[in-house]
Amino acid sequence: MNPPLPRSRVPRPKAAADRRKRLDFIFRQLDNLYPKATCALQHRNPWELLVATILSAQCTDRRVNEVTPGLFRKYPTIEDFAHSAQAELAADIRSTGFFNNKAKALIGAAKKINSDYRGKVPKTMEELLTVPGAARKTANVVLGTAYGIASGIVVDTHVQRIAARLDLTRNGDPAKIEQDLMKQVPKDRWILFSHQVIHFGRNICVARQPRCPECPIDPVCYAKDKNA
Ligand code: SF4
C-alpha cells in the first residue's frame, strides 16, 4: 500500500476538461469498489422502504434492519400503520431513536397514502413531498431504490462530507449540495452514485481519520482533512 499523496502535490483541475477527467476517474474508482451498490435497508415493497427510510433518520441501517422484520409482522399493511396507536407504535420502534416523532410520521404517512394515493406510495417527487416524514432525501431513496426513478441524488451525512472533500460542492445546505451534484453527475448515474458514495463514506472516507492509505481516489483528492 502506497502512502497517500500529500494534498499539496495533488493538482487541482482548472479547465472544464480537467474537471471532467477527474470526475470520470472518481466514477471509475467507485464502480470498481462498489459495482452493484444498493440500499442497505431491507424491504419487500415501496411502503416498507419508506418506513425503513423514515426510521433510519439518526439511526444506523443495521439497527433499522433489526427492528423492521418484527414491525412488518405486527403491522403488515399500510392500513395497519394508519390505524395503529401512536404510543404503541412508538414503543415498537423505540430502539431507532426519536420514536415519538417517527411514530407520528409513520401514521401520518400511512393515512396520507391511503387517502390521497389509493394506498400506493406515489412515484413522483412532488407527490412524495406531501407525505409526512418524507423530505427530499427520503423521497430520493424511495424513488431510486423502489421504483428505479432518478429523481435526484440522496444527500445524507456521508454524501455531504464526501462531496465537500472531493470539491464537488462549496455549499453546506443539502438542497444546494444536491443541485451541485446533479449538475456534475450524469443522470443515469444518480441512483448508483448515491449508494456508492454512502458505502464509500461508511467504509473508507469515514468522518474521522479517513482511510486515505487504502483509498483509490487518493491521486485526485486534495481534501483539507486528508489523512496524509
Ligand atoms: S479517503 Fe476521503 S479524504 Fe482520504 S483520499 Fe480518499 S477521498 Fe480523500
Q: Is the pTM of this model over 0.85?
A: yes
Q: Which residues contact 141 (CB under 8 A, 6 or more apart)?
A: 39, 41, 49, 53, 154, 194
Q: What share of the chain is helix, strand, coil (3-state, %, to 5)?
A: 60, 0, 40
How many Å lie between the centroid of ligand 1 and the Cα of residue 211?
7
Considering the four listed CATH numbers 1.20.120.140, 1.10.340.30, 3.30.365.10, 2.40.160.20, the one that applies to the domain covering 46-147 is: 1.10.340.30
Q: Where in the chain are all domains bearing CATH 1.10.1670.10? A: 7-33+152-220
**Atom of ligand 1 minimally distant from the CA of 215:** 6
137 part of the active site:
yes
Residue 1 confidence class, pLDDT cut points 50, 70, 90: low
Catalytic residue (choose from 92, 102, 112, 137):
137
Burial class (CB in 10 A: 0-12, 13-18, 19+), 76: exposed
Q: Where in the chain are all domains bearing CATH 1.10.340.30? A: 46-147
157-165 vs 190-203: helix axis angle to the nearest 10?
A: 90
The answer regarding whether domain 7-33+152-220 maps to CATH 2.40.30.20 reads no
Residue 199 confidence class, pLDDT cut points 50, 70, 90: very high
156 part of the active site:
yes
How many Å lie between the centroid of ligand 1 and the Cα of residue 183?
22
pLDDT (tens digit per residue) in 13-24: 999 999 999 999
Residue 152 confidence class, pLDDT cut points 50, 70, 90: very high
Confirm if 42 and 52 have CB atoms less than 8 A apart: yes
135 pocket-lining for ligand 1 (C-beta < 6 Å): no
139 pocket-lining for ligand 1 (C-beta < 6 Å): no
